[in-house]
Every structure is written in structure tokens, then in C-alpha cells.
Amino acid sequence: MNNSPINYPGAVVSVQWLAEHRHQPHIRIVDATVHLPDTGRDAKAEFLQEHIPGAGFFDLSVIANPNNPLPRKFPPKDIFIREVGKLGIDNQTHVVAYDTPGLYSAARVWWLFRQYGYDHVSILDGGLKSWKTHGLAVEAGTVDFVPSQFHVDHERDLLALWQHVLTISGNGNEQLLDARTAGRFAGTEVDRYPGARPGHIPNSMNLYWADLLNTNTRELLPLNEVRDRITKSGIDLTKPVTLTCGSGLTACILALGLHLLGKDDWKVYDGSWDEWGRTAELPVATSA
């Protein structure tokens, strides 16, 4: 349990909710936007041009493991504590994370905190896109925070490494769900990660992460539709599931969807296809 006076509204908050509550001193808004190299976009530069007033930049390339050659991998506890503290976040803070596309990378912030035992984190439904659509103000430049001390009291078991994934892929006792596009999953579409083989982890199922979002608003679909799309992918909600994607970002959206359905026996495969697809020793399947 978190020792906090926060009246936690849940894992997702609306633009209207944030507009009404953002001035409260215990709320810290963070922009966790990530743009992959093939987009040609710079998330930090865009943040400096415009962001929700009072937001800090939650840099997922810095709050990461510096000893892992792959970008944005799960951060060691000391790095997480240090960098989160720089954003003025302590164990009395309600963190609200967003990204510029609506929902793409912000769910990873929610997952990182949950793995480190902290629950008072929400995703802004629709992100900056929805904020601006509602005609709300943005600001430019940087925001300075008084550093805080964040404590990790316990860790959860929500992080999967390739060894675990290889085991469950082989024995079929647990489920694997891949958040990439159907074409990348099938191996018929060129992968976004140069050097990665085409295809997917054997015995995994597929649900494109964006299929949980409204195409226009980029907000999450109603829960009955989220449930329907997850179950139609072949997932049995009574059994554990490990989630994977391209680099460990959008798998967290599937995790968020499962959490909202009351299902928390899942893990996120941090390395995802960026790791698995490049590792020749690991098996790959393609769709006919």
C-alpha cells in the first residue's frame, strides 16, 4: 500500500479532470513522448516548443539502463529513484503522464512505477492531442522542480526478460500477446528495427495496440470494447499473459487495458522485438 493522502482517480484521467486538478500541489504532470528514429521527430525539442503547463519531461531514454545496448530498457532502481526525484516526485505525488500522439509511450511510465511498487500514476486519456482539441493552453520552455526523494519499498513481478518468454513460448502454459501491427507480426511488413528478422515469437497472439484506441480522438475505447478486442485476439482473461511489442512501449498499452479490466497477472517483455528479432539463437515464427 502507498502511504499517501491522494484521492486516486484511477489509471486513466480525462482532460477535463486534469484541467480542474492540475494546480494541486501533489500533482506532477509529465510528458513521456517517444518518437522512434524513423519518424525524424525529436520529442524533447517538441516538448520545449509546447507542453501542458507545469509539465516536466519524463525522458525514457535517460530513465533507463545505461548498460543495455538497446534504448529505453528497464532502469535500475538507483537510476529510477534519482531521475524521478529530479522531477519533484516523491511518495506523496500523483503522477499524470501523457504523450503527444494521444497514447503511445506514456503507458510505460505507469508500468515503470507499478513495477517499482507505486500506484498513484495516471495516464491522460488522449494525451496532448486531446488537451489541444479541447482548446486548453500550452506553454513553451523548461520547468524547474525542487528535487524530491522517491522511495521504492517493494518491487512487483511485472517485468519479463527473454529467458522467461522463451520458456512460456515453448511450453504453452502461459499466453503471449504481441502489440505490433498484423503485418509486422506476420512477417509480411518491413520491421521498424533494422536488423530484426521478420515474424513473431512462436505461439504468440496478436492485437495491434492502436486497436484499443478511438481512431480520431486517440482516447481509450470503452471498457466493453477493450474487453471484446482483447478476447477476440484469443486471450483467455483467466490465464496469465506476457505482453510484447517492438521495443517495450506499446505493450504497456495492452497492460493498461488489462489492468482496467481488473486483470493484473501480466508481465511486459522489456526487450520485445528489438531484442528478440535481432537475436539469432531465439526462434521466430511467421504467418502463412
Judged by average pLDDT, the poorest of 10-24, 187-201, 229-243, 272-286 is 187-201
Q: What percent of the chain has pLDDT over 90?
A: 90
Q: So what's the pLDDT on residue 192?
A: 83
Q: Which domain holds residue 100?
A: 12-133
In a domain, 151, yes or no: no
- Residue 118 CB contacts under 8 Å (≥ 6 apart), including other chains: 2, 91, 150, 152
In a domain, 53, yes or no: yes
Residues 75 and 179 in one domain: no
CATH of the domain at 124: 3.40.250.10
In a domain, 282, yes or no: no
Q: So what's the pLDDT on residue 2?
A: 46
252 in active site: no
- Taking the C-alpha atoms of residue 48 and residue 179, their distance in angstroms, rounded to an integer, is 30
In a domain, 246, yes or no: yes
- Taking the C-alpha atoms of residue 18 and residue 123, their distance in angstroms, rounded to an integer, is 10
For 171-190, the pLDDT digits (tens) are 877 899 999 999 999 999 98
- Taking the C-alpha atoms of residue 175 and residue 266, their distance in angstroms, rounded to an integer, is 9
Residues 121 and 165 in one domain: no
Last residue of a domain, one of 118, 133, 148: 133
Burial of 68 (0-12, 13-18, 19+ CB in 10 A): middle
Kindly tell me if the per-residue pLDDT of 36 is higher than 90.
Answer: no
Mean pLDDT of 242-252: 97
Residues 22 and 98 in one domain: yes
Last residue of a domain, one of 117, 133, 149: 133
In a domain, 287, yes or no: no
Residues 190 and 224 in one domain: yes
- Total domain count, the chain: 2
Active-site choice (12, 245, 251, 254): 245
Instruction: Give the CA-trace dihedral at 277, 280, 283, 287, to 10 degrees.
Output: 50
